[in-house]
Structure 1
């Protein structure tokens, strides 16, 4: 069923950004609320600047993003900062700081995965502020490495508020990252997140906020503690299975880590069934699935069982996979009253299936036409250009 918008309150989200698709004689959009899909700046304008920095978020806003998305982890002194990984070696220049050499950890367990590096819980905010952010993708600009600092969640809130002017509303889309891990460290994320949203005047259903997590227990806890914002269940997998067109499931990307610790044998794939979606609806407003849950990718194999190199570049990867007929996930989620925000859309050719011919806009257009309610994108401008093309197609 397509539930009442008054019941969900979703029509109030990103109100300024979503306005304007209701008239003009265009065809009805297939989104849950009938509004144009959101463009969510994944870690900011991370295709252009080191991710999850104030500069990356500001650039995403300048490019026209509807929402800015930070992953939240904790410092030693309990401050929420925006980093995708607790391991600072992945996205900062901490390795080049001799004063922190003795804090390097070897085989440190993060959600069942052994990692070596420097971890945020060993650093105060003041110490982390001495580090410089670096690009995490070698194909992206490297000249800004070390120039920009790690940003706090409060600084992101302040930025979104300061840039919400002239009728434009910038939403924030925070994720509790590795919440069980942080709880085990004695640095739980959830209560601090709720407190900061409440202090900002944003702990309400129509606030420009979406709170997301891969761990259901984190979302359920926040809801039980009075979180009123829109809540999003993220849905992951390990990798593409090019033989079947499905997905593979291997730890730590087989199931939410809180399920692993609880002995729950279900996989992320169980979340996208009608029963799984109905369960999600009891505590969340939407889902954030990995893209191939919506558009599967499959390879072509020769008589010897070897995947064909369709683009002739001498290697076999995603660029040699063909898109398959879309699944029913969007329709199923909408029937359950859940919006759908798939991740992550990127411009690099190596991240695009064969059918898109190296054109990232072709991928966006397919998903927009299928009725997604928003997209997580590293390249805000590309996502917006494709959305504009889609809206023109629909008569707006």
Structure 2
């Protein structure tokens, strides 16, 4: 019998509202998402907050706030030099004064109408929202918690594993929590702290996990190494599942979508669940053969891509527009 994948609202219903805002998560619940996915970083005083990255100039109004002008700096995060404003240089009381902005205004101009409407959420705020929404819906809505840049935060004395375990103690269960990260080290540490739930390793198309690069340098195992049959078998002894860039599941030749790869089948054969990210309907994110018109933000033939990914056998999909996936599943 075909699997019905989990519909995970990526940073809330971020296709319709600025990501990681109260409105984005509330809309995701209303649109029938099975789960919501927050990205988790930390403040200087150890408060876990929801932002795509710890560098926040692209998602808040911090650059226009003169009182924080002196916080602008350059840092190296996971080997990449970044200039801007960083959550770990703010206390929560300072960070809560900022307002959220649309991260990709060139694609989602309509979302910019909501720039400045909403503040920054803490992890504990979203936990409360999930509980309330689950009660209203009379079903358990889950959280897929992505831990961001754990090796970097650890290097500056902010242990995200410890902070998460403390924050989520008494709330997390095997049914309402999935923990994911691009670094297995933090997954192992959180699991060792007794946090219940399922653990998922995130994989990219290229490169190596930051924690392994930090430990092993140029000899670090690559993401590609993890995706061999032997790598998947090894991962099955360490995590419950993997979550991959959708391009690893799509067979695309010269911009034309041909079909799906066998990755989902191979993951299942190894005993792993598999999820993919990120399903988006706009031309900017679709293979060339599925684009319609010339506008980056215009919708292309998203049903074809979405259906190809669903039919590949994945156990869950991350989507900025969870209602579109739900509609596709309902009308299949």
Tell whether 2:53 aligns with 1:98: no
TM-score normalised by the chain length of structure 2? 0.92
- Equivalence for 2:238: 283
- Equivalence for 1:160: 130
Q: How much does 1:325 deviate?
A: 4.1
Q: What's the secondary structure of 1:89's corresponding residue?
A: coil
How do 1:208-287 residues align onto structure 2 when only pairs under 5 Å count? 208-237=176-205, 249=206, 254-263=207-216, 264-287=219-242
Structure 2 unmatched ranges of 5 or more: 292-299
Q: What's the secondary structure of 2:260's corresponding residue?
A: coil
How do 1:145-156 residues align onto structure 2 when only pairs under 5 Å count? 145-156=115-126
- Equivalence for 1:298: 253
Q: Deviations over 1:182-210 (max 9, x none)?
A: 1011111112212222221x2x4x32110
Aligned length: 318
- Equivalence for 1:136: 103
Q: Does the 8 A contact of 1:364 with 1:387 survive in 2?
A: no
Higher strand share: 2
Residue 88 (structure 2) aligned to one of 118, 121, 127: 121
**Using the alignment, how far apart are the partners of 1:283 and 1:266 within structure 2?**
15
Q: Deviations over 1:87-142 (max 9, x none)?
A: 0112111001100001110x311111111101100101111111011101122121
**Using the alignment, how far apart are the partners of 1:371 and 1:355 within structure 2?**
23
- Equivalence for 2:266: 332
Runs of 4+ in 1 over 6 A off after TM superposition: none
How do 1:303-318 residues align onto structure 2 when only pairs under 5 Å count? none
Q: Does the 8 A contact of 1:294 with 1:326 survive in 2?
A: yes
Q: How much does 1:260 deviate?
A: 0.7
Structure 1 unmatched ranges of 5 or more: 1-27, 238-248, 300-320, 391-396
**Using the alignment, how far apart are the partners of 2:153 and 2:58 within structure 1?**
18
Q: Deviations over 1:44-101 (max 9, x none)?
A: 0111111011221111111111101000000011010010111011211100110000
- Equivalence for 2:46: 78
Q: Deviations over 1:349-395 (max 9, x none)?
A: 121113435221221111111211110001111111112123xxxxx
- Equivalence for 2:287: 353
**Using the alignment, how far apart are the partners of 1:50 and 1:195 within structure 2?**
28
**Using the alignment, how far apart are the partners of 1:44 and 1:71 within structure 2?**
10
**Using the alignment, how far apart are the partners of 1:155 and 1:283 within structure 2?**
30
**Using the alignment, how far apart are the partners of 1:54 and 1:39 within structure 2?**
19
Q: Does the 8 A contact of 1:223 with 1:283 survive in 2?
A: no
Decide whether aligned partners of structure 1 residues 353 and 103 sit closer, same or farther in structure 2, where only a CA change above 3 A counts.
same
